[in-house]
Chains A and B, each alone.
Chain A
Amino acid sequence: MTELTTEQPRSSKIFFSFLPKRSGLIWVLLGLCIFAALLSPAFLNPLNLTNVLRQVALFGIVSVGMTFVILTKGIDLSVGSILGVCAVVTALMLTDGWAPGVVILLVLLAGAALGAVNGLGVTLGGVPPFIMTLGVMVMGRGLALTLANGQPIGLGEAAPKFMWLGRGDFLGLPVPVWIFFVVSAIAIVVLRYTAYGRQIYAVGSNSEAARLSGINVGFVTFSVYVISGMLAALTALIFVSRLTVGEPTAGTGIELEAIAITVIGGTSLFGGEGGIVGTIIGAAILAVLANIMNLIGITPFTQQIVKGAIIVGAVLYEMQRRRRSS
């Protein structure tokens, strides 16, 4: 019963081969956009669309890291807290007078270091990813609150030198959107065209076979948490720049958003299947959905219910698909 059903070659599949396995997603996204436009003319307003894009970018960057982790059959619950710590550190350093360039570099390293803690716990310690990153999630939030004394830290005079990152525009698009493009493009190339990318899929599909195939499973696993941490830090930098405040509670709950985006984008929670293109579309779907709900006046509380249901729905869909094919 372990055999899978024979896959029929479909012409559409060849045509859309750049899309992930669930290429139906792109139609879902288009459908949602048309629906949104019909529902509220405000949706197509350039200002609104820019807002949606910015949303896609912020959640998307974290989700790219999450996709790397989930591809190895892991999970990273700590991204929200790492974001919080990095937001506070960014604000502290900027108010202390450090140059923005140095701050960006050091904060990215700080995020990578926190990710490395996850990675070491999972690989050397053998702690299940869920537990390890849950621990770092709680510790990280505590660290952020401690560093900030529980108070938001305003950038004050340092703000103008740093605001371009979150508020700036370049060729008509917000800078964060460009950053997201670059991050996604690099991620796509890494996963599709490098040996390291292949090894991520191998580790996620079958870590024992990966080990016996001569892959350094420990290093690959460790590295995805570092990447995830670093991308959480990048998001923190954008957050702080945009709000000109470093909030210790920044990023609370973003891990769930990122998991939802990754899963909706067709990356399997069982590892080894999926990719970045799906995640980009997943981020867009969730952002458009949130935007629709905002436009028609659904409260944020109700929105949470809808989002939770969507996550469960996406996983249910995947379970069904797996059951059918086994």
Chain B
Amino acid sequence: MVDDKDKLEREVLDSDAILKMVGIEKSFPGVKALQKVTFEVQRGEVHGLVGENGAGKSTLMKILSGAYRADHGIIAFDGAIRTNATPSEMIECGLAVIYQEFAQAEHLSVAENIFLNRLPRKAGGLVDWRKARADAVEYMNRLGFMIDPETEISKLGVAQRQMVEIARAVSQNAKLIVLDEPSAVLGDSELEKLFVTIRSLQNEGVSFIYISHRLKEVFDICQSATVLRDGQVMKSEPISEWTTETLIQSMVGRSISDFFPNRNPNFGDEVLRVKNLTRKGVLKDISLHLRAGEILGVCGLAGAGRSELLKAIVGADPIDGGEIELHGKPVRIPSPRAAVRYGLGFAPEDRKTEGLFLAQSVKFNITISRLKEHLSGSLINHRKERSRVNELSCAFRIKTPTIESPVGNLSGGNQQKCVLAKQINADCDILLVDEPTRGVDVGAKREIYDLLVDLTEREGLAIIMVSSELPEIIGMCDRVLVMREGEITAEIMREDVTEEGIMTHATFH
């Protein structure tokens, strides 16, 4: 066994790729996140890593960076075996990962962030600020941008902060830089600048892993691409071998039309109308309406104010102006408590921090919003509660050992179903869902789509769905609102909606 591993390691080291990961496996309770993944990046190339949310891209990158440890497999990086390296060892030997949410010290300066933990010292151990600033300027020059190195990071826009991250990677002599969905927060012109920087670093011999689900970018910048689906590598080829169609085919595993349930919408009366909703600096003059049985999509780039809109409607965030009408009557919703009482359900973006009580049972999570349904007198009737939860967990196909199991043990998809079941148990007739399939595996995604469609068609539920996955918006929604910088920039009907159409309204010109 040991000999085999040695032999394998020697073989792996034989190649002169900058990175070679072989036979990587990783399981979480209830989920095989990665199965026998083999992934190789050549020196000096930009390698696209594509796949749907939940395909295993970030797990693979976390294993590479040392944040997770693989259950099996070998990692060779820059000519040495680094299978069980720690994050700091990986940085040391030339790996830099730039996450979507930057790991930056908000209140420190640009120079301090570039040299975090490695500020140059004078004899005697004091920080050599002059050298730090000069070096920072030099690195930024090399990347073709300039920001005053004294500027506090929190004062910068996302594009500039991303550049600072890249400068930091370069200052660490990174040989391989992982860009995790770098375009999610960028407009077109900013993206073009990013590409220029990537190409110039590439000429200096730096390699990149470029994670994105926007295929056009992958064709624009990458020399090869690997597709992950359900934790397995579907295919890894030079970019010339791929076409948009084959890439989508590999990613999704079936064509989009099969993936979403058929809609036979049956619209009822208007249930919600929002007029001129405003929150300073976040939402500008938002007006929208929603009918029973309708699924209204809301999309836009990260930071466009999509989640904030939902939170403002349910009273989770304060508003500075605007009116809300439910079933034609003006109401004031000062808190989520009021929203629950008005039959307004909300499934927040981040299940783990906002939606669920992870250590508590499935039952606890489903009934917490509306315990009064389960009271006999003023005490909770546990039998009544259990039978209601059993009913719901059956209807929502929640896979759990028992309804008493902690919800944290469930897979992402089943957790999301619990969040939805909780809203339905609270007897809502309007449901606001934020990224309903984030971190959910493909099979469960389809189940969630079916559920949502079923609820609208059979129960007449009205849904507002925020999502950054355009196929989902296109496949599910009867009408789509596009947001940009806190404003609604377009309203598109189902029959006219295309990815390009959405993106033109979502980005800057």
- Which residues of A come within 8 Å of B, CB atoms? 1-7, 9, 189, 192-195, 198-199, 201-202, 205-206, 208-216, 272-273
Contacts and interface: CB of A to CB of B under 8 A. Distances in A.
B158 interface: no
A6 B30 CA distance: 8
Contact of A211 (B31, B316, B422, B426): B316
A199 B68 CA distance: 35
The 6 closest A-B pairs by CB, nearest first: A214-B340, A195-B371, A205-B357, A193-B379, A214-B337, A4-B408
Interface string B365-407: 0011101100100111010000000000000000001100110
A214 B409 contact: no
B172 to A, nearest CB: 25
A177 B405 CA distance: 36
Contacts of B409: 3-7
Contact of B358 (A1, A205, A215): A205
A202 B355 CA distance: 11
B208 interface: no
Nearest to B380: A193
B368 A202 contact: yes
A5 B179 CA distance: 31
Contacts of A195: 371-372, 375, 380
B359 A205 contact: yes
B210 interface: no
A7 B406 contact: yes
A7 B401 contact: yes
Nearest to B377: A193
24 contacts: A2-B352, A2-B358, A3-B30, A6-B409, A189-B379, A193-B380, A194-B380, A195-B371, A198-B364, A198-B380, A205-B359, A206-B353, A206-B356, A208-B354, A209-B354, A209-B355, A210-B357, A211-B316, A212-B316, A212-B336, A213-B422, A215-B368, A216-B337, A273-B359
A209 B356 contact: yes
A272 B337 contact: no
Given A6-B401, A205-B359, 12 more contacts: A2-B358, A4-B409, A7-B406, A202-B368, A208-B353, A209-B353, A209-B356, A211-B336, A212-B314, A213-B369, A214-B341, A216-B337
B358 A214 contact: no
Main secondary structure of the interface of B (DSSP, over half): mixed
Given A212-B348, A213-B336, A214-B340, A9 B401 contact: yes
Contacts of A194: 378-380
A272 B359 contact: yes
Given A9-B401, A205-B357, A208-B354, A213 B408 contact: no
Interface in B13-29: 28-29
A194 B378 CA distance: 7
Contacts of A198: 364, 367-368, 371, 380
Contacts of B348: 212
Contacts, number: 102
A212 B338 CA distance: 10
B360 interface: yes
B346 interface: yes
A7 to B, nearest CB: 6
Given A2-B408, A3-B408, A6-B401, A212 B364 contact: no
**A5, A9, A189, A209 — most chain B CB neighbours (10 Å):** A209
Contacts of B401: 6-7, 9
B358 A4 contact: yes
Interface residues of B, number: 43
B226 to A, nearest CB: 24
Contacts of A3: 28-31, 408-409
A186 to B, nearest CB: 12
A212 B355 contact: yes
Contacts of B379: 189, 193-194
**A1, A6, A201, A212 — most chain B CB neighbours (10 Å):** A212
Nearest to B341: A214
Interface in B334-352: 335-337, 339-341, 346, 348, 352
Nearest to A197: B380
A91 to B, nearest CB: 38
A272 B28 contact: no
A321 B379 CA distance: 33
A193 B385 CA distance: 11
A221 to B, nearest CB: 14
Contacts of A213: 336, 340, 368-369, 422
A123 to B, nearest CB: 14
Contacts of A199: 368
A209 B408 CA distance: 14
A25 to B, nearest CB: 19
Contacts of A206: 353-354, 356-358
A214 B336 contact: yes
A214 B339 CA distance: 7
A17 to B, nearest CB: 9
A9 B402 CA distance: 9
Contacts of B339: 214
Contacts of B369: 213-214
A213 B355 CA distance: 8
A205 to B, nearest CB: 4
Contacts of B29: 3-6
**A194, A205, A211 — most chain B CB neighbours (10 Å):** A205
Nearest to A8: B401
B211 to A, nearest CB: 20
Contacts of B335: 211, 214
Contacts of A193: 379-380, 382
A105 B446 CA distance: 61
A193 B360 CA distance: 16
Contact of A209 (B357, B372, B378, B405): B357
A323 B314 CA distance: 36
